[in-house]
Amino acid sequence: MTDELARRIADLMPLAKADLTELVSIPSVADPRQYPPEKCREAAQWVADAFTAVGLRDVHLAETPDGSHAVLGHRPPPPGAPTVLLYAHYDVQPPLDDQAWTTPPFQLTERDGRWYGRGAADCKGNIVMHLTALRALGDDLPVGLKLVVEGSEEQGTGGLEAYVSSHADELHADALLICDTGNAAVGVPTATTSLRGVVNVVVTVTTLKGDVHSGMFGGPAPDALAALIRALDSLRGPDGSTRIDGLDGDGSWDGVGYDEQQFRTDAGVLDGAELPGGGSVADRLWARPAVTVLGIDCAPVVGSAAAVPATARARVSLRIPPGTDPGAARAALVAHLRAAVPWGAKVEIEPEQSGAPFRAATDGRAYAALDKAAQEVYGKPLAYLGQGGSIPLCNVLASTYPGTEIILMGVEEPACLIHAPNESVDPREIEHMAHVEALFLRHYAAARR
């Protein structure tokens, strides 16, 4: 039976490529300042039509509180069978620098065995994975299904999170497949069991009533940018580790590790550049807080004057591991920055996005069924991985549906370069993970009988 299912999925791969070609061609960036909102609506309707064609019922677009549209649908379970929710998102990150792409970002292009294009992996590749699994099963669907495909995940505006809280019955299921992550590497079946939370703030430092001539006043005149740099530098210890007063910076990761050389390759670390911090790469990625300066506002190099800057500001992001409260983390970050700004400078700190970390319970029937499916497809047991990114929806789902198993999986392995120029997906991952998903639905139905 497994061999027959594998053959069906292999035969469906040309259709999977055609699907992804169409989806990638729609620039569904959920930011009206950059792309027309109707492109997101077009992508949403494409998704709705595709899932209607594979047998889901009442597939429709639901407006969420942030103005985006989620695609919702369902298929009732056979008598006594469980229901599984399938999640993905159709919105994508902007392509950033078009000139950095080898081929056009919104044109699916095959190169060196991979399919390139914005959203090819994150997360349109996962939409195609779902469709391929359901097409392979056809009418032989052993579980009930609920579908939600989000339209503003990349913008972090919380539309679906707010929708869930007021439509809990509509999305309730026995197991949730959150397909917006992926394997540790191509060919290594993996479930993501840990997500870091995030706390973002904007810190503004002001020292003077206005910029003054550096020749006449430089030296004793307090330099706002220099004061900001001092404060930002204090967020790291001598070895580069994140060190924020009041936060534990020495956690350890007990799941699958991350080879340092592989990390250097995946992250594009230059030869000779050192990795900051101590402990293993996995410790630093998934078990410890990590601070990043996302941007700085001050005079640009080109066009800058010989002046002491009066004001400078920075956007600071703090990723936090499971077990850390985001409110406490924000308070610690704010207090640290205030104390670290020198020379009595005026400090203003504006809170931005925050999200709690997440850790999945892995001892239930759904994880057992997924492990069985992974071993049948990949010939090796399921690995457990942390992820440095944040998916706030997971915490909303966990609190709304306590006791429901939440599985994070998908096609987004490290070589995909999600969010970066030249994003791609390995079509073997779409094929094999669609096979895993289809087998999971069978095994989970059998385990629940």
Q: Is 118 within 8 Å of 25 (Cβ atoms)?
A: no
Q: Would the CA dihedral through 368, 256, 416, 14 be positive or negative? A: negative
| Residue 229 identity (one-letter amino acid) | I
How distant is the alpha carbon of residue 410 from its chain centre? 11
DSSP per-residue string spanning 204-225: EEE-SSS-EEHHHHBTTB--HH
The DSSP-derived string for 20-33 is HHHHHTS---S-TT
Q: Sheet with 424-425: list strands edge to edge.
A: 109-111, 114-116, 424-425
Count, in order, helices (H) and strands (E) of the chain: 13, 18
Active-site residue set: 91, 153
- Which of 290, 273, 197, 287 lies closest to 237, judged by CA? 290
Measured between alpha carbons, how far apart are the two ends of the chain, in Å?
20
CA-to-CA distance for 231 and 349, rounded, in angstroms?
Answer: 13
